[in-house]
Amino acid sequence: MIANSGVALLLGTPVVATIGGTFNVLSMNVAGLPAFLNDNSVPGEKTTNSELIGSKFAELGYDLIHTQEDFNYHAYIYKNDTHSHRTATSGGVPFGSGLNTLANYDWVGFTRVKWDECSDASEFDCLTPKGFTFMRLKLSDGAYIDAYNVHTDAGTEGDDITARASNLQQVADYINAWSTGNAVVVFGDTNSRYTRVGDIIPDFLSQTGLTDAQVELILGGVVPTEEILCSNPSTTDECETVDKIFYRGSPLLGLAATYWAYESEKFLQPDGDVLSDHNPITANFTWIAGTSLRQSDFWGGSEGNWFSDLPALSAKVAPKASVLTFRGASRLDSVAITLTDGTTFTHGGTGGSASTLSLGTGETWVSAQLCRGQKSGNTRNFYIRATTSAGRTLEAGTATSDCAAFDAPNGWAIVGFLGQDGSEMDQLAFVYAPQ
């Protein structure tokens, strides 16, 4: 089923986007520490095993793969993999985090974040800049999901547990700051168990609104209270490992997990030996664009702080715009929209000159043009032009040659924003609602 998603029209070419679909994910700790540091009790040469892992990634074609401990054998994995989008390695030990992503979808906003706290009480967790990664994965035009890859502190000593709790809290704080209003998947090596005192998975899920896909689909919604350790390869999906997949939907994008499993039997050496000391895990998801709110694609750069009008808009019934206000001069400084109920959303700085357009009865904001350029080495939005259903326009800033147009779906209109800002408008996308 397809419909106009209301996203960028480049060079006047209409874009028709899917409003629903499916994707699957895989999380795998690939045991890529140098052999002299840790052989991971895995038979065979790590170079050979890594090449085979990459071959299986290509053969099985998972849509989104997060790897952990992808250190010194990274090139061997990528050598045989064929995914169209892959992160560049941050380096081997001791320089890299060991976190990488391979995907069938593109993304924006990729970021690596180092843990604030680590512990060497049981393992050498402070040897490398472990942490988490963030990316905004584009499933289709106007359909995004925030994807996090995590590898927390290992070990069971008191300092390890304290550091690990700090790690998960750091991810929760980041989600609550940078993924407000968005669908989210978080998966990787959490080094955490529900049955271990001090591990804070329930608190983490509560703070972020995330659901554990294994608990939901395999364990009947009941978190483990008795430790059931997995063999490797695992012979059951009902045991618990430290590798986990969490998710949530949003008003913009409904998300549901439909399948969860250990993929151990698919990642074996020719003689049946394992390729890693961790069981890989997978989940399938269905997604559907929101029925009351949708968004456009993003335009601009990656600087500034995240903002979203989604939480406020999702609490309203049939929001409508009444006044548009833009500020700009050489670049686009700020955007604002006032709704008919008096709510105003303003983003950006106070520079430039202000221009305002009050909408008439029945008039809606149906399309926008954005132009971007470079300032101090960073990409920013330089220009905006709004066009209403009555054909009236409002503009601010200075147009460039790098522009895109965004049209609301038929019967919808622009009612808010999301993106990143500072003193100017770094990144911008539009929120649509039915009219």
CA dist list (Å): 382 to 7, 289, 395: 19, 29, 11
pLDDT for position 5: 37
Q: Are the CB atoms for 408 and 426 separated by under 8 Å?
A: no
Tens digit of each residue's pLDDT (9 = 90 or more) over 163-207:
999 999 999 999 999 999 999 999 999 999 999 999 999 999 999
Question: Which pLDDT band holds residue 340 (cuts at 50, 70, 90)?
Answer: very high
pLDDT at 140 (0 to 100): 95
3-state SS class at 262: strand
Give the residue among 415, 418, 411, 417 at the shortest CA–CA distance from 432. Answer: 415
The residues, ordered by sequence, that sit 6+ positions from 45 with a Cβ below 8 Å of its Cβ are none
Is the per-residue pLDDT at 9 higher than 90?
Answer: no
Query: Does residue 321 or residue 122 have the better pLDDT?
Result: 321
Q: How many helices (H) and strands (E) does the chain have?
A: 6, 28
3-state helix, strand, coil in the chain (%, to 5): 15, 40, 45
* Whole-number pLDDT of residue 14: 37
Q: What percent of the chain has pLDDT over 90?
A: 92
pLDDT at 332: 98
Flag whether pLDDT at 39 surpasses 80.
no
Q: Structure tokens of 129?
A: 């800049």
Average pLDDT over residues 358-369: 98
CA-to-CA distance for 163 and 259, rounded, in angstroms? Answer: 32
Prediction pTM value: 0.94
pLDDT tens digits, residue range 382-427?
Answer: 999 999 999 999 999 999 999 999 999 999 999 999 999 999 999 9
* Amino acid making up residue 376: S
User: What average pLDDT does this structure show over 201-229?
Assistant: 96
Give 15-42 as a 3 state SS string: CCEECEEEEEEEEEECCCCCCCCCCCCC
Average pLDDT, the chain: 94
pLDDT confidence of residue 18: 66
Pairing of strands 143-151, 184-189: parallel
- Supply 315's token pair: 């609490």
State both tokens at 173: 């704080």
Buried-exposed string 265-284: b where 16+ CB fall within 10 A, e elsewhere: eebeeeeeebbbebbbbbbb
Residue type, 253: L
Mean predicted confidence (pLDDT) in 106-111: 96
pLDDT at 258 over 90: yes
Question: What pLDDT score does 7 carry?
Answer: 39
Q: Is the pLDDT of residue 120 over 50?
A: yes
Q: Helix or strand or coil: residue 176?
A: helix
Q: Which two tokens stand for residue 190?
A: 């959490």
- pLDDT over 60 (residue 351): yes
Q: Residues, the chain, total?
A: 435
Residue 65's pLDDT is what? Answer: 98
pLDDT band with cut points at 50, 70 and 90 for residue 17: low
Q: Name 229's Cβ contacts closer than 8 Å, sequence gap at least 6.
A: 239, 240
Helix (H, G, I), strand (E, B) or coil at 306: strand
pLDDT at 227 over 50: yes
- String of DSSP letters for 68-124: ES--TTHHHHHHH---SEEPPP--STTT----EEEESS-EEEEEEEE-S----SSS-
**Which tens digit of pLDDT belongs to each residue from 260-292?**
999 999 999 999 999 999 999 999 999 999 999
How is residue 221 written in tokens?
């919604």
Identify the structural domains of the chain with CATH numbers, from first to last: 20-289 (3.60.10.10), 294-434 (2.100.10.30)
